[in-house]
Structure 1
Amino acid sequence: MRRVRYGSTGGPLFLEEVPAPEPGPAELLVRCEAIGATLPVVRKVAEAAEPIPLGGEIAGEVVAVGEGVTRFRVGERVTGLCLGHGYADFALLHEVMASPVPEGACAVDAVALVRSGLVALGALTAARPAPGEAALVTAAASGVGHLAVQLARTRGATRVVGAVSDPAKADFVTELGADEVITYSQEDWGTSVDYALDAVGGELLAPTVASLAPGGRLVAYSSGGGTIQAYDLLVGAKSVTGFQMAHIAREKPELYEQWRQELWRLFEDGALKPAVHRKFALEDAAEAHAAITSRGNLGKVVLVP
């Protein structure tokens, strides 16, 4: 089978031919139909001291199961987070990380919706939204952000503000349902919101906190780091919550499953529409990563073997 890897920090990415892996206990071997590329993986390629497996969201058909698997059978279609080599024709998926793909949904929809949607819905839930509130979503055109914009509306937000890196993304974010779109480079964001979902971090934390109304809540789920001054929180009685999807998957699997079902229900009802920036061939993985690095993507970046 074909697999994408790299030999040293920063790449380059290349294809190699390797035998298909064998599923171990509680593992599924999945023939990948779609693979989601994410910013955390792109950053690890650029920054990790040693080369790492290129993992991420995958969706496809189960072709073999390991010992002890009880929830899935060969021939079923699943999606989930692959922690090993996911940029490949075949990948291993642990049973606890897998969920079924409903009839009528394609693999690309599954990859664009489930993992990114879980992060968006989890971060939104952590913000404790109340009907009638105003929301701010940074990286609003990203794979997670474009779903967060829509989900905020389903949780009762009467005003949704999207923050983006490029004014050219404004029409896309507006079409998702945002009432207002601002760019990171604006000196004064000129907005006041009850809660903010931040996927960027770094220098964007300060203006995001400044955009919160008194008593406002910031949920930070970025891998980009950054620092918040305690005084900026104290003067407005503001708060910050960190959110990590892996913690939910490990510690609260019943909540993970509840959110997954909610995402598919909203998808089937037409209230949540995942957008795919572009489908890249497996051999074009480097180009897919470049689309994310340049912040040029509108929606999810997907590899299709």
Structure 2
Amino acid sequence: MRRVRYESTGGPLFLEEVPAPRPGPGELLVRCEAVGITLPVVRKVTEAPEPTALGGEIAGEVVAVGADVTRFRTGDRVTGLCFGHGYADFALLQEAMASPVPGTASAVDAVALVRSGLVALGALTAARPEPGETALVTAAASGVGHLAVQLARTRGAGRVVGAVSDPAKAPFVRGLGADAVVTYTDDDWDTPADYALDAVGGDLLTPAVAALAPGGRLVAYSSGGGTVRAYDLLVGAKSVSGFQLARIARERPALYEEWRQELWRLFAEGAVRPAVHGEFPLAEAARAHAVIESRANLGKVVLRP
């Protein structure tokens, strides 16, 4: 089978031929039909001190199961987060991370919706939204952000403001249902917001906190780091909390499954529409990464083995 790999930090991605893996206990072997590209994996290629397996969101057909697998069998269509080599024709998926794909959805729908949607829905839940509140979503055109814009509305937001890096993304974000779109360099973010979902971090944390109304809540789910001054929180009785989906998957599996079911229900109802910026073959994984690195994507970037 084909697999994408790299040999040094920042090094080129290349295809190699390797034997297909065999599923161990609790694992599924999946023939990959779609692989979702994520920013954390892209950053690993450019920043990790040692080469690592290119994992990520995969969707496809189960072709073999390991011992102790009880929920799935060969022929089932599944999606989930692969922690090993996911940029490949075949990949191993832990049963605990697998979710069935309904017959009405494609593999591309699945990788665009489930993992990114779980992050968006989890961050939104952590913000404790109340009906009629104003929501601020940074990276609003990203794979997670474009779903967060839509999900905020399903949770009763009276107004949704999307923040983006490039004004050219504004029509896309407005098409998702945002009432206003601002760029990070704007002096006025057309707020205050009752809560903010931040996927950027870094220097953007300061203006994001400033955009909150008194008593506002910011939920940070970015891997970009950043610092918030305690004084900026104190004067407005504001708060910042972090959200990590992996913790929910490990410690609260029932809630994790509840969110998955909610996403598929909203998808079936047409309340949430995952958008795909582009589909790339495995051989063009480097091009797919470049789209993410340049922040050019409108929605999800997908590999199609």
Match of 2:104 in 1: 104
Match of 2:294 in 1: 294
Q: What letter matches 1:160 in structure 2?
A: V
1:79-118 map, 5 Å:
79-118=79-118
Q: What letter matches 2:300 in structure 1?
A: K
Match of 2:77 in 1: 77
**SS of alignment partner, residue 80 of structure 2:** strand
Match of 1:162 in 2: 162
Cα drift, residue 105 of structure 1: 0.7
1:1-305 map, 5 Å:
1-305=1-305
**SS of alignment partner, residue 85 of structure 1:** coil
Structure 1 unaligned runs (5+)? none
Q: What letter matches 1:141 in structure 2?
A: A
Structure 2 unaligned runs (5+)? none
TM-score, normalised with respect to structure 1 = 0.99
Offset from partner CA, 1:253-294 (integer Å, 9 cap, x none) = 000000000000000000000000000111100000000000
Inter-partner Cα distance in structure 2 for 1:214 and 1:243: 21
Q: Which runs of 4+ in 1 moved over 3 A?
A: none
Cα drift, residue 11 of structure 1: 1.9
Offset from partner CA, 1:34-84 (integer Å, 9 cap, x none) = 000010001111100000100000000000000100000000000000000
Offset from partner CA, 1:151-198 (integer Å, 9 cap, x none) = 000000010000000000000000000000000111332420000000
Whether the aligned pair in 1 keeps the contact of 2:161 and 2:190 (CA below 8 Å) is: no
Inter-partner Cα distance in structure 2 for 1:62 and 1:275: 25
Inter-partner Cα distance in structure 1 for 2:41 and 2:174: 28
Q: What letter matches 1:97 in structure 2?
A: M
Inter-partner Cα distance in structure 2 for 1:25 and 1:183: 48
Q: What letter matches 2:51 in structure 1?
A: P
**SS of alignment partner, residue 62 of structure 1:** strand
Q: What letter matches 1:151 in structure 2?
A: L
**SS of alignment partner, residue 274 of structure 1:** coil
Inter-partner Cα distance in structure 2 for 1:186 and 1:4: 39
What is the RMSD of the two structures over their aligned residues, measured on CA atoms? 0.5
Inter-partner Cα distance in structure 2 for 1:273 and 1:115: 14
Offset from partner CA, 1:90-149 (integer Å, 9 cap, x none) = 000000000100111100000000000000000000000000100000000000000000
Whether the aligned pair in 1 keeps the contact of 2:69 and 2:95 (CA below 8 Å) is: yes
Whether the aligned pair in 1 keeps the contact of 2:35 and 2:87 (CA below 8 Å) is: yes
Inter-partner Cα distance in structure 1 for 2:262 and 2:168: 31
Q: Percent identity?
A: 81
Inter-partner Cα distance in structure 1 for 2:188 and 2:228: 18
Inter-partner Cα distance in structure 2 for 1:190 and 1:83: 40
Inter-partner Cα distance in structure 2 for 1:194 and 1:102: 35
Q: What letter matches 1:73 in structure 2?
A: R
**SS of alignment partner, residue 264 of structure 1:** helix
Inter-partner Cα distance in structure 1 for 2:187 and 2:271: 34
Inter-partner Cα distance in structure 2 for 1:211 and 1:119: 22
Inter-partner Cα distance in structure 2 for 1:226 and 1:8: 27
Inter-partner Cα distance in structure 2 for 1:112 and 1:135: 22
Give aligned pairs, total. 305
Whether the aligned pair in 1 keeps the contact of 2:180 and 2:190 (CA below 8 Å) is: no
